[in-house]
Amino acid sequence: MGFGDDYCKHVWAPFGLSITTSVITSLLTVITLPGNLLICIAILRDPNKELRTTFNYLLFNVAISNLLIGAVTDPIFVYFHIREALGYTVITWYALPHMSFFIGCTASLLSIAMLAMERSIAVNANYHRKLPRKRAVNMSVAIWIFSFTFPCIYFQIGYFKFAFIFAILMIIVTFVAMVIAFIRIHCSIRSTTARVLTVQPMGSANEKTSQIQLKRAERERRVTIIFTAILIFYTICNLPAFVFIFVVNFCSSCSCNFIHWSRDLLLLCVLVNCSDNQFLYAWRMKSFTRAFRSLVHLPLTDEASVIQTQDTRDKQ
């Protein structure tokens, strides 16, 4: 078996595998589509006027890419694997599910990498809320241009070879960027907190400045905890996918059944990561949960109202 050769192309996938994959992708569609759609609506409408930050603009980009996967990629894979299970021909239209998968996942991974960069810049430079909206928009546009053009290589080299390139360039590079950002963020927050706590204020003005710095550090720490959860879950999902990509490209002694299982599992690992991103950031952030409640016309709890008032005062 040569690198990237699909010698199992004409060997039918096991019936149980096709059914399992179609069921899982059906569940992922139900999870991914409505949640990310609600996030996009919340950011666009911003009912409480507290979501217009650079971090949330980049989260919006992640939500759009995951929405694309939930609305296009997952349903296509459901239909694809149902046809495969029933014995209908599917070889003639491999490109449609593959391209939607690579476009959506490329945009999602690059957006997460941009989130890592934004977190690192925000914590180290202390201008999280001063980054202009135009910069976030330009970054998002560049991500989508690359996401639509880069996967076109697929038509020249085929699925397995491009999946390997995708793993090297997208998964590994994004992971390295996230790890570097996490180290910088962790060191910066510890240094800032220690400096504020050790400096003895000499007056009310200095004391007020120290309190503001502590509040800012605490705010950055909360958002960074969310980013850390994204990093951990990213590793859990994409490390097995990376292994499966090597299997389908280099395992010449593997049976076709094993190759088919590896092929579907690498897709499912990445799709699970895309479906659960929403629970790692938006659904854990109080500003988003308040926005969700406002969108569905549910009254805010007393605690949420107090927090919202405090956040508004901090911004002022």
Quick check: is 2 in a domain? no
Residue linked to tokens 């952030």: 285
Per-residue pLDDT of the chain in tens (316 residues, 90 and over written 9): 556 566 777 788 899 999 999 999 999 999 999 999 999 999 998 888 888 888 888 889 999 999 999 999 999 999 989 988 888 877 666 788 888 889 998 998 888 888 888 777 777 665 444 556 777 788 889 999 999 999 999 998 888 888 888 888 888 888 888 888 878 777 777 776 666 656 555 555 566 666 666 676 676 677 677 777 777 888 888 889 888 988 888 888 888 899 999 989 998 999 998 888 888 878 888 888 888 888 887 665 544 444 444 454 444 3
For residue 305, tell me if it sits in a domain: no
- At residue 212, the pLDDT reads 66
Confidence (pLDDT) at 91: 62
Residue 7 located in a structural domain: no
d(CA 171, CA 250): 18
Domain that holds residue 290: 15-197+210-297
Q: Please give the tally of structural domains in the chain.
A: 1
Q: Is residue 227 part of a domain?
A: yes
Residue 316 lies in a domain: no
Dihedral pair phi/psi, residue 81, rounded to 5°: -80, -25
**Is 268 domain-assigned?**
yes
Instruction: Give, in degrees to the nearest 5, the angle at Cα 282 between 69 and 221.
Output: 130
On whether residue 303 sits in a domain, the answer given is no
Alpha-carbon dihedral sign for residues 61, 64, 70, 76: negative
Q: Does the residue 89 lie in any domain?
A: yes
11's torsion region: left (phi>0), alpha (psi -120 to 50) or beta? beta
Instruction: Give the domain CATH number at 260.
Output: 1.20.1070.10
Task: Specify the pTM.
Answer: 0.80
For position 306, what pLDDT does the model report? Answer: 42
pLDDT of residue 171: 80
Cα angle at 237 between 81 and 104, to 5 degrees? 60
Tokens 């609506």 sit on residue: 41
